[in-house]
């Protein structure tokens, strides 16, 4: 197989800093494990707007379609708050998701033992937590038409459309069931079928996919509001959660926060297999661009590094190498290595972004 290709879109805020550490780690894999990657870099978000007047240039979009995987840092910042909706930094990210058709967004919510005390939840409620939220990422209210601000009579009205076809629900449900089989074998599907017809169709299709193709997996359904409650009350009851784009946005952020490990959480966004059998894929940390700490060496690179671990697992079939990287992260944390966001009352060794990257390479 030819050298796998990666497109790095570091983006805005702390994006470039955390991505620099990932680049080091990719280099380590090339040097020490004989796993070279063919890397190109480009712009997305506010920095792309600054240069090209658009948060994602067509050439960048075309490159993203060709590579084996995209690694993204973060987009956005207060500097861009007043931009028109159509050129906001987020539109660059949303265009990538949509045009690469990355329908399955995998967001693990894991609580690292060494960090369990960081959670606002009690230790016994989160310690050992390991759930996977599968969020539909290319449809629903994020993309449905009609949308916009229109004038009706003498006032304006803001409209967005939630829209799910059977096949859109089918494919993300399959992704969730497949994952569950490799984990705890349980899927909980969340919607508001009690008030939304799109939720009724969602529940129906998930139920059908389950009965036809995954009867061995345990399936349950929950209204999304009850799901938000249960995530706060007893998150360990879940294994895989599958839900739509908007519910997934809120629920996965809430779940991420519960772990106390926000600066630690990666994500993978996967699409259909390409000609070479690999899925279209984009990997990014769950945290945002954190403009308040950008450029100060304070950012925690672990979420971005673990996103690369997900790339090893889901794009390059290197599960053992992904495990190795994840174990290296666990080890440095257990040894007390701490970026400022991880510095709690019990102390630890204060590290900069770059020092944390180095420590992880050391542990590898």
Ligand X SMILES: CC(C)[C@H](C(=O)O)[C@@H](O)C(=O)O
User: Three-state DSSP class for 210?
Assistant: helix
Q: At what angle do helices 353-363 and 302-314 cross, to 10 degrees?
A: 40
Least distance to ligand X from the beta carbon of 249, Å?
Answer: 5
135 is annotated as contributing to ligand binding: yes
158 is a contact residue toward a copy of itself (CB under 8 A): yes
Contact present, 65 and 277 (Cβ < 8 Å): no
Residue 102 or 312 having the CB closest to ligand X: 102
**DSSP letter assigned to residue 4:** P
318: its two tokens: 């290197």
Least distance to ligand X from the beta carbon of 140, Å?
Answer: 10
182: its two tokens: 């490799």
86 is annotated as contributing to ligand binding: yes
The reply to whether 331 belongs to the active site is no
Least distance to a copy of itself from the beta carbon of 324, Å?
Answer: 31
291 is annotated as contributing to ligand binding: yes
Size of interface with a copy of itself, in residues (CB under 8 A): 60
Site string for ligand X, 78-97 (x = CB under 6 A): ------------x--xx---
201 is a contact residue toward a copy of itself (CB under 8 A): yes
CA distance 5 to 217: 35
The catalytic residue among 101, 117, 130, 253 is 253
200 is a contact residue toward a copy of itself (CB under 8 A): yes
User: Which of ligand X, a copy of itself, none does 361 bind, CB closer than 5 to 8 A by kind?
Assistant: none
The catalytic residue among 42, 68, 192, 214 is 192
Residue 107 or 210 having the CB closest to ligand X: 107
Contact present, 13 and 72 (Cβ < 8 Å): no
Q: Cβ atoms within 10 A of the Cβ of 354, count?
A: 14
CA nearest neighbour of 55 among 80, 33, 32, 73: 80
The catalytic residue among 29, 49, 142, 164 is 142
Residue 228 or 343 having the CB closest to ligand X: 228
Exposed/middle/buried for residue 100 (C-beta within 10 Å: 0-12, 13-18, 19+): buried
DSSP string covering 171-199: HHHHHHHHHHHTTTSEEEEEE-TTT-HHH
292 is a contact residue toward a copy of itself (CB under 8 A): no
CA distance 351 to 359: 9
197 is a contact residue toward ligand X (CB under 6 A): no
159 is a contact residue toward ligand X (CB under 6 A): no
Is the bond into 53 cis (omega within 30 degrees of 0)?
A: no
CA distance 12 to 47: 6
Phi, psi of 12 (to 5 degrees): -110, 175
97: its two tokens: 């998701």
User: Which of a copy of itself, ligand X, none does 327 bind, CB closer than 5 to 8 A by kind?
Assistant: none
Q: What is the largest CA-CA distance in the chain?
A: 68
Residues 29, 49, 214, 247: which binds a copy of itself (CB under 8 A)? 247
Residue 93 or 176 having the CB closest to ligand X: 93
User: Which of a copy of itself, ligand X, none does 39 bind, CB closer than 5 to 8 A by kind?
Assistant: none
Residues 194, 220, 296, 349: which binds a copy of itself (CB under 8 A)? 194
266-273/279-285 β-pairing: antiparallel
Enumerate residues 6+ apart whose C-beta is below 8 A from 93: 44, 45, 55, 56, 72, 75
127 is a contact residue toward a copy of itself (CB under 8 A): no
Applying the rule CB under 6 A, the residues between 7 and 66 that interact with ligand X are none
30: its two tokens: 């090339």
Q: Which residues are annotated as a binding site for substrate?
A: 97, 107, 135, 225
Q: Which residues lie near ligand X (CB under 6 A)? A: 90, 93-94, 194-195, 225, 249
- Tell me the catalytic residues: 142, 192, 225, 249, 253
Q: Which residues lie near a copy of itself (CB under 8 A)? A: 76, 85, 88, 90, 94, 120-122, 125, 141-142, 144, 147-149, 152, 155-167, 192, 194-202, 224-226, 228-234, 246-247, 249-251, 253-254, 256-258, 262
């Amino acid at each position: 197989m030819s050298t796998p290709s990666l497109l790095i879109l570091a983006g805005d805020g702390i994006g470039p800093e955390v991505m620099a550490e990932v680049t080091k780690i990719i280099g380590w894999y090339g040097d020490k494990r004989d796993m070279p990657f063919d890397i190109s870099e480009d712009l997305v978000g506010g920095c792309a707007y600054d240069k090209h007047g658009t948060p994602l240039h067509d050439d960048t979009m075309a490159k993203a379609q060709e590579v084996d995987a995209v690694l993204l840092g973060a987009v956005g910042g207060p500097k861009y708050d007043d931009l028109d909706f159509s050129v906001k930094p987020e539109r660059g990210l949303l265009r990538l998701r949509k045009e690469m058709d990355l329908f399955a967004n995998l967001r693990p919510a894991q609580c690292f033992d060494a960090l369990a005390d960081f959670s606002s939840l009690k230790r016994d409620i989160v310690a050992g937590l390991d759930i996977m939220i599968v969020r539909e990422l290319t449809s629903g209210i994020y993309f449905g038409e009609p949308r916009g601000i229109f004038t009706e009579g003498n006032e304006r009205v803001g409209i967005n459309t939630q829209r799910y076809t059977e096949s859109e629900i089918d494919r993300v449900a399959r992704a969730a069931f497949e994952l569950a089989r490799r984990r705890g074998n349980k899927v909980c599907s969340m919607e508001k079928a009690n008030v939304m017809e799109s939720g009724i169709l969602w529940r129906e299709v998930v139920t059908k996919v389950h009965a036809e193709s995954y009867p061995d997996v345990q399936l349950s359904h929950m209204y999304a509001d009850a799901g938000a409650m249960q995530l706060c009350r007893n998150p360990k009851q879940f294994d895989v959660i599958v839900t739509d784009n908007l519910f997934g946005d809120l629920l996965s952020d809430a779940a991420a926060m519960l772990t106390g490990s926000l600066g630690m959480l990666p994500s993978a966004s996967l699409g259909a297999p390409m000609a070479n059998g690999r899925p279209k894929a984009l990997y990014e940390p769950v945290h945002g661009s954190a403009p308040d700490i950008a450029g100060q060496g304070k950012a925690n690179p672990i979420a971005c590094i673990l996103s690369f671990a997900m790339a090893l697992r889901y794009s390059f079939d290197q599960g053992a190498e992904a495990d190795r990287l994840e174990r290296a992260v666990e080890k440095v944390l257990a040894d007390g290595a701490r970026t400022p966001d991880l510095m709690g009352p019990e102390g630890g060794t204060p590290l900069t972004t770059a020092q944390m990257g180095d420590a992880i390479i050391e542990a590898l």
